[in-house]
């Protein structure tokens, strides 16, 4: 991706040329999803969680994603390959029904590209706007601290899947009745002074835990993969383009207006 950027730019849109393709390619290869289908699945993933779209459009995008995965699962059943979905079909095909396989494939494809791509784009934007952290982000030996603090600081997943209380309980002094729904705001938790002292300050040397990948039994399954991608991608791009800079005034950077995932529409860069 960096080679292509170098040949075709500057300028380049960092979202389309780097942040989105890398996690998309990785998850496609792992799952056995054709990368050539990326335009349609990326578009549907954005629409599903876009708060500016009406609910009918969002549900249609979700139904489209499940239909797409149903076709893929049927193809894997007919001719299983060595990637994850094909392997699941071959080794456990009689124990897992299609509905479950479709759910697994859909969640992994979505989780695998949406979140990490937003981290790569927003993380690069943060580093370019705060150049005192670039040296540490460029160095593979110190990038881990930057990655963990970016995860906390940016909290790209804005809220978890809603939970339903199975019994009456008191949580942090709040009375919650059986059957009530709870929605956890990860950015609020990650910026809560009770958990992270001086939370507004970006400090890559912190040792405090964060909730960017959730907590408990539903802790992000892809956390190790996302961490590896970020630990490789930030040093790679900052090495290749030591003079990387944003090609528009900061106030013109195009953020997603309303989504479950905090992210950028595009990020024009030059070098
Ligand atoms: C920086 C990137 C990522 C972030 C910030 C992130 C964040 C999260 C969060 C907050 C949850 C918990 C949601 C909840 O409790 O309601 C979660 C769950 C999950 N994530 Fe990620 N994720 C990332 C990357 C990935 C990747 C790369 C994959 C797939 C390879 C993935 C797959 C999943 C799955 C399958 C779950 C559901 C786990 C379960 O319910 O048991 N995520 N993620």
* In a domain? residue 127: yes
Ligand 1 atom closest to the CA of 186, numbered from 1: 10
Residues with a CB atom less than 6 Å from ligand 1: 27, 107-108, 111-112, 115-116, 119, 156-157, 160-161, 186, 212-214, 218, 220-222, 225-226
pLDDT-based confidence at residue 202 (cuts at 50, 70, 90): very high
DSSP states of 201-256: S--TT------TT--GGG--TTHHHHHHHHHHHHHHHHHH-TT-EESS-GGG-EE-
Can you give the pLDDT at residue 76? 96
Cβ pair 249, 221 in contact under 8 A: no
**Contact partners, residue 154, CB within 8 Å, separation at least 6:** 118, 119, 122, 123, 126, 212, 262
Can you give the pLDDT at residue 189? 95
CA distance 144 to 32: 29
CA distance 30 to 109: 10
Q: What's the CATH number where 30 sits?
A: 1.10.630.10
Can you give the pLDDT at residue 122? 98
pLDDT-based confidence at residue 157 (cuts at 50, 70, 90): very high
* In a domain? residue 266: yes
Ligand 1 atom closest to the CA of 184, numbered from 1: 16
Gap from CA of 241 to ligand 1 centroid (Å): 30
Please say if the pLDDT value at position 200 is more than 90.
Answer: yes
Residue 269's DSSP bridge partners are 12, 246
* In a domain? residue 1: no
Can you give the pLDDT at residue 218? 93
Gap from CA of 268 to ligand 1 centroid (Å): 28
Ligand 1 atom closest to the CA of 163, numbered from 1: 16
From 107, 115, 151, 152, give the residue whose CB has the most ligand 1 atoms within 8 Å, as the site to mutate: 115
Mean pLDDT within 198-212: 95
Please say if the pLDDT value at position 151 is more than 90.
Answer: yes
* In a domain? residue 257: yes
Can you give the pLDDT at residue 169? 95
* In a domain? residue 180: yes
| The total number of structural domains that make up the chain | 1
Give the rounded percent of residues in the chain with a pLDDT score beyond 70.
100
Please say if the pLDDT value at position 121 is more than 90.
Answer: yes
Peptide bond into 204 cis (omega under 30): no
Ligand 1 atom closest to the CA of 217, numbered from 1: 41
Please say if the pLDDT value at position 208 is more than 90.
Answer: no
Please say if the pLDDT value at position 172 is more than 90.
Answer: no
Gap from CA of 218 to ligand 1 centroid (Å): 8
* In a domain? residue 183: yes
* In a domain? residue 5: no
From 106, 210, 222, give the residue whose CB has the most ligand 1 atoms within 8 Å, as the site to mutate: 222
**pLDDT tens-digit readout, 249-259:** 988 999 988 88
Range of the domain at 147: 11-270
Is the pLDDT higher at 229 or at 50? 229
Gap from CA of 115 to ligand 1 centroid (Å): 8
* In a domain? residue 6: no
Ligand 1 atom closest to the CA of 156, numbered from 1: 5
pLDDT-based confidence at residue 196 (cuts at 50, 70, 90): very high
Please say if the pLDDT value at position 22 is more than 90.
Answer: yes
Can you give the pLDDT at residue 223? 97
Gap from CA of 137 to ligand 1 centroid (Å): 23
CA distance 198 to 206: 10
List the residue whose alpha carbon is closest to atom 40 of ligand 1.
218
Can you give the pLDDT at residue 97? 95
Please say if the pLDDT value at position 9 is more than 90.
Answer: no
């Amino acid at each position: 991706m960096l080679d292509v950027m170098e040949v075709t730019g500057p300028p380049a849109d960092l979202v389309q040329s780097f942040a989105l393709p890398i996690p998309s390619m990785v998850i496609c290869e792992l799952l056995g999803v054709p990368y050539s289908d990326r335009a349609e699945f990326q578009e549907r993933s954005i629409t599903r969680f876009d708060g500016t779209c009406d609910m009918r459009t969002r549900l249609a995008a979700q139904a489209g994603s499940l239909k797409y995965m149903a076709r893929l699962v049927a193809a894997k059943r007919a001719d299983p390959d060595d990637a994850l979905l094909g392997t699941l079909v071959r080794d456990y095909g009689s124990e897992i029904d299609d509905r479950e396989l479709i759910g697994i494939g859909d969640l992994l494809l979505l989780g695998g590209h949406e979140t990490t791509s937003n981290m790569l784009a927003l993380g690069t934007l943060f580093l370019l706007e705060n150049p005192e952290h670039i040296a540490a982000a460029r160095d593979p030996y110190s990038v881990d601290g930057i990655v963990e603090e970016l995860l906390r600081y940016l909290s790209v997943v804005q809220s978890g899947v809603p939970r339903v209380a199975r019994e009456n309980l008191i949580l942090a002094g709040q009375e919650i009745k059986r059957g009530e729904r709870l929605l956890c705001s990860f950015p609020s938790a990650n910026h809560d002074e009770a958990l992270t002292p001086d939370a507004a300050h970006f400090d890559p040397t912190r040792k405090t835990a964060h909730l960017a990948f959730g907590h408990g039994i539903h802790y992000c399954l892809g956390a190790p993969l996302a961490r590896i991608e970020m630990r490789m991608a930030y040093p790679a791009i900052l090495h290749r383009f030591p003079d990387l800079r944003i090609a528009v005034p900061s106030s013109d950077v195009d953020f997603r207006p309303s989504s479950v995932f905090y992210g950028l529409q595009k990020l024009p860069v030059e070098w």
